[in-house]
Every structure is written in C-alpha cells, then in structure tokens.
Chains A and B, each alone.
Chain A
Amino acid sequence: MAHSGINILFAGNNFGRLMAGLWNSIWIAAVSLVIGLIVGTIFGVLRTSNSKILRLILRLYLEFFRIVPTVVLLYLVYYILPELFHINWSASWMAVLAFAMWVAAEFSDIVRGALQSVPESQREAGLALGLSKVQLFRYVLIPQAFKLELPAMINLATRVIKTTSLLLIISVMEVINVGQQIIEANNQQYPTGVFWVYGFIFILYFVLDYPLSAWAKSITNKQK
C-alpha cells in the first residue's frame, strides 16, 4: 500500500511529540534569554565604570564568547561542569547555563554601546538634579538606552532560538532530536518521511524567527 510521506507528521502521536520537542526548545531559549539579558545589562553598565580592571575582565569575558563557537561552548559545559565542579544538572539546564552566559556576553556589549550613545547632556542634567548614580542609571540612562538596543535585543533572541537547534548534540529532547527518532521509527512505513519531517522543522523555525526579525527591522527603519 502506497503511503504519502507527509502523513508521517500526523501518524500516531508524532505531531504532539514534535510540538513537545519544540516547546523544549522554546522554554530553554526563553529562560536563557531572561537570565542572559539581566546579567548582560549588569555587565554592560559595569563596562562603563571607571575601574580599568573590571572593564578588562568583562572585555575578556566578551571576547571569549566571540571566539568560541556555540557548539564548542555546549560541549565545554557538558563535559567540564560534571568533571571539574561535580555539578550534575540535566542537559537542558546545562544548555540554559551555556546560552545565558553567551547572551550575557553579547548583550553586555549592546548595552555598553547604547549607554555610550545616550547624549552627555542627559547624564549631566540628571546629576544636576541631584540624582544618585543608581537613580541616574535607573531613570535616565537605561530607559533611553533601551530604545536604542531594542532591535539588537530582538535579533539576539532570534539567534538564541536558531541556536536551540544545536541542543541535540548534548542529547536534549528538542524538536530535531524528536524528529530524528520519528524518522528512524517510521523508516519502513514512510521511506520519504525524512524529507517531510526535516522540511516541517525547517518551516517551524522560520515561523518562530521571521516575525521577530521583521519586527526588529521595522523598529530600525522607524528610528532612522
């Protein structure tokens, strides 16, 4: 009996399993982003501080993540955390750690750039009003910098979502990993299943990322 390949997506509970895998990718991306953006903001503010040593350390932190590919980063966390620090988290949380550190590095540079492009007069006006350093950042600099960094922040989010595709290398049950299992299990019945499953996942990623990157682009165009 001939089977149309596309039915592999809906046979049994395949569709539900793929969606559960996708959910795994999404929550890992979301949690990493939240942690990474908070830590990145702190690092970014500190990178405008007067302490040379602090600036150097944070700069080196950033450069490390610029040089090491994310694949390698995932393996570093996966192998070294349990061995050197005896930390035995699940693969998903190790991925969150790796991604959050990476996001913090990238975002610290975005925040630093945005803070430095807030006009000097704003800082001076704030200080003239008697704002403390913390108040100055909280009410003047960070809100203004936020507008400038929003497109870069959204683009970073799209990159994190795309990068969740790498999670299969440390055996997280994300959407591609689930897809592989479905393909292998149904290979007899659906020899062309591989085409449909990977094609479907390709489209899933596009559906997640395209609205975000279009949004970032429209903000950039409005700011011009």
Chain B
Amino acid sequence: MNWTVIQQALPVFAKGFELTLWLSLIGIVGSIIVGVLASLIQYFKIPVLSQITTAYVELGRNTPLLIQLFFLYYAFPVIGLKMSAEVCGIVGLIFLGGAYMAEGFTGGFNGVTESQISSGKALGMTNMQLARYVVFPQGFALSMPALTANIIFLIKETSIFSVIAIPELTNTALDLIGMYYRSNEYLFMLVVAYAIILIPIILLLTWLERRVRYGAFGD
C-alpha cells in the first residue's frame, strides 16, 4: 500500500464521490415518488392503471439493473430515443427503485391489522377517511424497514453505473486502475469511500426507523 498514490488520487475520487451522492439522491427521491404513486394506485385498485402498475412492479423487481441499463443505453437509440449515460442511469435506477419502493409501501398498507380497519369502520369512517387516518399513517410506519433497506440497496446499485461509463466512484476507481495498475490502493479507497457514505446513512436510518415506530405505536 503506497500512501502517496492514495493522496494523489484523492481529488479524482472526490469527484466520483460527489457524483455517486447526487445520482443516489435523485434516484432515491424519484423511486420514493414512483413507489408512493404505484402503491396508492394499487391500494385504491384503480381499474386498468392498477394492472399496469402490478406488471411494472413485477418487471422492475425481477430483472437486474444492468440489463435495464443496457436496454436504455444501447437498445433505445435503435428505436430513436437517445439519452446520455447519466440520464439512462437515473431513469434505470428509478425504474428499479420505484418497483422496490412500491412493493415496500404496499406491504406496509397490507400489514395494518384487520381490527384497526374494523374499528375505523365502526366509528363510521368513510373509505377515504379510513385510508387517510388509519391505513396510511400506520402503513408508512410499517414500511419503514423496507424503505431503509431499499435506500441502502439503491446507493449500492449506483456502482453498476460504471458499466455504462458514468464517472461515479466505481468507474473512477476502475479508470485509475486501468491507467496506473495500482489495484490495491484504488480498491482500498473505493471500499473506504462506500463505507463513508453508507455507515452514517445506515446509523441514521436505523435511528429514524425506531423513532417512526415509536411515534406510530408507542411501543
């Protein structure tokens, strides 16, 4: 391990680090929005739309991000839709993440106990009120563990962007290895960089998960 090599590579890594953070953030926010919309469509069983959503969720969850990206990046231009690598990456990540998030939220809504729903009905709540005051608040709290797992998963999935040459962390490291043949140093930096991103996020999300469950159920 040569420390000067590491020192010299720091500025380049910092750039990749920043891009990984940005792409993850956009991907996560986008996935949550798509996931919430999809789970609402499924909850209210909106005709036609809910069948399409179910098909999307199953497709997104059961295919690898890499082939989704290859399809967007290499196959879409053939039918006249050309996007930059970064746009493909974000679209692919949201396609994948939205499906995972939808599954998580739907699982949360379904986890709300029957007794809660019948109590609401006994109080004379309409279906809308039931959804607004009983199912959603408890359902979102129940889906927190899935949300947490998905956020961490999506950040790690950005490493796959390296295959379509988006200069994020992994791609940066591979580029450096290709140029200087210093695999130990650059791989070490790569692992440390992911640890710097993920450890605080894992700790924060674990804490938040506990708070939300406490707020919702008081246990």
Of B75, B152, B202, chain A has the most CB atoms within 10 Å of the CB of: B75
> B190 on the interface (CB 8 Å rule)?
yes
A75 / chain B contacts, CB cutoff of 8 Å: 170, 173-174, 187
Q: In the complex, how many angstroms separate the beta carbon of A201 from the nearest chain B beta carbon?
A: 6
> B162 on the interface (CB 8 Å rule)?
yes
Q: In the complex, how many angstroms separate the beta carbon of B161 from the nearest chain A beta carbon?
A: 9
Q: Which one, B63, B173, B202, contacts A162 given CB within 8 A?
A: B63
Q: Is the CB of B67 within 8 A of A165?
A: yes
Q: Is the CB of B187 within 8 A of A198?
A: no
A71 / chain B contacts, CB cutoff of 8 Å: 159-160, 162, 170
Given contacts A71-B170, A195-B79, are A79 and B194 in contact (CB under 8 A)? no
Q: Is the CB of B184 within 8 A of A67?
A: no
Q: Which residue of B lies closest to A76 (CB)?
A: B187
CA gap between A165 and B70 in the complex, in Å: 11
Residues 140-164 of chain B: 1 if any A CB is under 8 Å from the residue's CB, otherwise 0?
0000000000001000111110110
B160 / chain A contacts, CB cutoff of 8 Å: 69, 71, 166
> A182 on the interface (CB 8 Å rule)?
no
Binds B, one of A15-23, A35-43, A139-147, A204-212: A204-212
CA gap between A194 and B63 in the complex, in Å: 18
> B213 on the interface (CB 8 Å rule)?
no
Given contacts A75-B174, A162-B64, A205-B63, are A198 and B75 in contact (CB under 8 A)? yes
> B183 on the interface (CB 8 Å rule)?
yes
CA gap between A118 and B174 in the complex, in Å: 46
Count B interface residues, CB 8 Å: 38
A195 / chain B contacts, CB cutoff of 8 Å: 75, 78-79
CA gap between A164 and B68 in the complex, in Å: 14
Which residues from 109 to 163 on chain B have a C-beta closer than 8 Å to any C-beta of chain A? 152, 156-160, 162-163
Q: Is the CB of B66 within 8 A of A67?
A: no
> B6 on the interface (CB 8 Å rule)?
no
Q: In the complex, how many angstroms separate the beta carbon of A82 from the nearest chain B beta carbon?
A: 10
Q: Which residue of B lies closest to A191 (CB)?
A: B78
> A114 on the interface (CB 8 Å rule)?
no
> A134 on the interface (CB 8 Å rule)?
no
Q: Which residue of A lies closest to B152 (CB)?
A: A66
Q: Is the CB of B194 within 8 A of A69?
A: yes
Q: Which one, A69, A83, A206, contacts B156 given CB within 8 A?
A: A69
Q: Which residue of A lies closest to B171 (CB)?
A: A71
Q: Is the CB of B75 within 8 A of A67?
A: no
| Residues of A that sit less than 8 Å from B by CB | 66-72, 75-76, 79-80, 83-84, 158, 162-166, 168-169, 176, 183, 191-192, 194-195, 198-199, 201-202, 205-206, 209-210, 213
Starting from the known contacts A70-B159, A198-B67, A205-B64, 15 additional A-B residue pairs (CB-CB under 8 Å) come to A67-B194, A67-B199, A71-B162, A71-B170, A75-B174, A168-B163, A176-B67, A192-B78, A194-B74, A194-B78, A198-B74, A199-B71, A202-B63, A202-B68, A213-B61
Which are the 10 A-B pairs with shortest beta-carbon distances? A165-B64, A69-B159, A209-B62, A69-B156, A79-B183, A162-B64, A71-B159, A165-B66, A195-B75, A195-B78
| Residues of B that sit less than 8 Å from A by CB | 58-59, 61-68, 70-71, 74-75, 78-79, 152, 156-160, 162-163, 170, 173-174, 177, 183-184, 187, 190-191, 194-195, 198-199, 202
